Amino acid sequence: MQFGGVQKTSFIDYPGEISAVLFTQGCNYSCAYCHNADLIAFKESADESERVIADLLTRKKNVDAVTITGGEPTVQRDLPQFMKRLKDEGFKVKLDTNGSNPDSVKMILSKGLADYMAMDAKTSLKRYPELAFTGVSERVQATSRIIMDSGVDYEFRTTAFPPLVGESEMEDMAQWLSGAENYFLQQFNPGHTNHPSAKLIAPYSVKTLSRLLDIIRPRVKNASLRGVDVPTPVEKCSC
Ligand code: SF4
């Protein structure tokens, strides 16, 4: 495993848990708004798995959950073995993914290696190739279905980057993710971006975010805003 950083303690990355956060190095997308742009490049380095696990074990009294994020964790070939090591040591494990590797996610879930899954839904399925590669739409659709059918706790989340997320994209995602358990619409932060042009994009107002969230709310069980400075209670739909 190649890591680009470790956050020793987080109260927000793993719902209901205090977790360490491991940032893997390398991503197969190139989102203009990415706030972890330093993690996109693939770099050759020695396997750091055992060093990272040894460090986690020294803090196990205080942190018994681990969030693996990126970059994109599923591009690391030894991710399943690494997650098994964490599970064998008694950690709860949350995996963040951009959804591009359905086979990897399927294998991880079938072996019981993840306790919580968080998958990005970045835009409408038809616009996905703008972010990544031809064929990515089918892959993210397959991954979302695998997660929803897994029985593992999960969430989908969308960063509301205005050029990629408007009413029509929300309508597409509402169909795509229909029946999902938890959905978050996250505020876009122009402070840290992958592409300089993204810094010039103004984030949506909370009012607009709420209006966009209302498009998907009837199709999912729990829908909330995230990353905005107002109280955003989780609401359940009546269907
Ligand atoms: S936002 Fe996520 S999927 Fe997109 S480039 Fe950054 S790490 Fe990769």
Secondary structure of 189-213 in HEC code, one letter for each residue: CCCCCCCHHHHHCCCCCHHHHHHHH
pLDDT at residue 90 tops 80: yes
- Domain 3-226: which CATH number of 1.10.3720.10, 3.40.50.720, 3.10.20.30, 3.20.20.70: 3.20.20.70
pLDDT at residue 237 tops 80: no
Q: What is the pLDDT of residues 103-118, one digit of tens each?
A: 999 999 999 999 999 9
Phi, psi of 227 (to 5 degrees): 80, 20
Tell me which amino acid residue 196 is.
P
Name residue, tokens 């009413």: 167
Q: How confident is the prediction for the chain on average, in pLDDT?
A: 94
> Is ligand 1 within 6 A of the CB of residue 121?
no
Question: Which of 40, 97, 100 to probe ligand 1 with, by most ligand atoms within 8 A of CB?
Answer: 40
Mean pLDDT, residues 74-95 = 97
The answer to whether the CB of 158 falls within 8 A of the CB of 115 is: no
> Is ligand 1 within 6 A of the CB of residue 215?
no
C-alpha of residue 58 to centroid of ligand 1, in Å: 30
SS3 content of the chain, % helix, strand, coil (to 5): 35, 20, 45
With a pLDDT cut of 70, the percent of the chain lying above it is 95
In the chain, which ranges are E strands? 3-10, 19-24, 65-69, 92-97, 116-120, 153-160, 182-187, 222-226, 235-236
> Is ligand 1 within 6 A of the CB of residue 34?
yes
Band (133; pLDDT cuts 50, 70, 90): confident
User: What pLDDT does 236 receive?
Assistant: 36
User: What pLDDT does 235 receive?
Assistant: 36
Rg (CA), the chain: 17
Q: What is the pLDDT of residues 172-209, one digit of tens each?
A: 999 999 999 999 999 999 998 999 999 999 999 999 99
Q: Is 48 left (phi over 0), alpha (psi -120 to 50) or beta?
A: alpha
Question: Sheet holding 235-236: strands in order across?
Answer: 3-10, 19-24, 65-69, 92-97, 116-120, 153-160, 182-187, 222-226, 235-236
Mean pLDDT, residues 63-79 = 96
Q: What is the pLDDT of residues 21-57, one digit of tens each?
A: 999 999 999 999 999 999 999 998 889 999 999 999 9
Domain spans, the chain: 3-226
Q: Cα 204 from chain centroid?
A: 20
> Is ligand 1 within 6 A of the CB of residue 31?
yes
| Prior bond of 5 cis (ω within 30°) | no
C-alpha of residue 120 to centroid of ligand 1, in Å: 9
Q: Would the pTM of this model clear 0.75, i.e. be above it?
A: yes
> Is ligand 1 within 6 A of the CB of residue 99?
no
